[in-house]
A and B are shown apart, each in its own frame.
Chain A
Amino acid sequence: MNVDLLFKIAAVGILVAVLHQVLCRAGREEQAMMTTLAGLVIVLTLVIKEISSLFDTVRTLFGL
């Protein structure tokens, strides 16, 4: 468990926010939506991997 995961997700979040603003200003709303969705998917895969490792650890720890 490392902390850089936290910074990776924060970085993706900031990047997506900036890209969204830039693309919206440039008039390409659909590309902006696509980048937001792409960022969402990337972060979601990371989060789900971590949540599954949490569940496995709790299962082995508490004997569920």
Chain B
Amino acid sequence: MDEVIKIVGIGLISLILIIIIKQYRPEFAIYISIISGIIIFFYAIDKLTNIIDLLKQICNQSGVNNKYLGILIKMTGIAFLAEFAISICKDAGESSLANKIELGSKAIVISMSIPIIHNLLEIILNLMPT
């Protein structure tokens, strides 16, 4: 429960600071939003580590190939980082920059998913009665 209070508190405090500083120095508002995002993320980290460990445990028990889970977790990491940058760029009003970051991160994620798609196709072809 106190995690939520911390996160909401930091969010509101940084919101107020941003509004104060935006009139005089707009660039400092962006710095404050970046730093508050990072601080909130560090609060969410220990929860994330538990979730990832649980996923790995389930994956080992169910006998699924561990490589695919690793790729999935990597994809979520890339998606998180890209989304972090994209939302900050959009806040600053640079939506074209945000789209470029989005394009790049999508290309990386898709290129990472190629082995999975390859194996999927192989499995389907094996099932096909040729």
Chain A positions within 8 Å of B, measured between CB atoms, are 1-3, 5-7, 9-10, 12-14, 16-17, 20-21, 36, 40, 43-44, 46-47, 50-51, 53-55, 57-59, 61-64
Contact = CB atoms under 8 A, between A and B. Distances in A.
Contacts of A2: 39
B17 A64 contact: no
Q: Which of A5, A7, A10, A63 has the most CB of B within 10 A?
A: A10
Contacts of B41: 54, 57
A3 B39 contact: yes
Nearest to B17: A10
B21 A6 contact: no
Interface in B18-61: 20-21, 24-25, 27-28, 31-32, 34-36, 38-39, 41-43, 45, 48-49, 52
A55 to B, nearest CB: 8
A45 to B, nearest CB: 11
A5 B39 CA distance: 9
B49 A61 contact: yes
Nearest to A59: B77
B32 A61 contact: no
A20 B9 CA distance: 30
B10 A6 contact: yes
Given A1-B42, A6-B39, A57-B45, A51 B77 contact: no
B73 interface: yes
B34 to A, nearest CB: 6
Given A10-B17, A40-B27, A47 B35 contact: yes
Given A14-B24, A46-B35, 7 more contacts: A3-B10, A10-B32, A16-B25, A51-B38, A58-B77, A59-B77, A64-B74
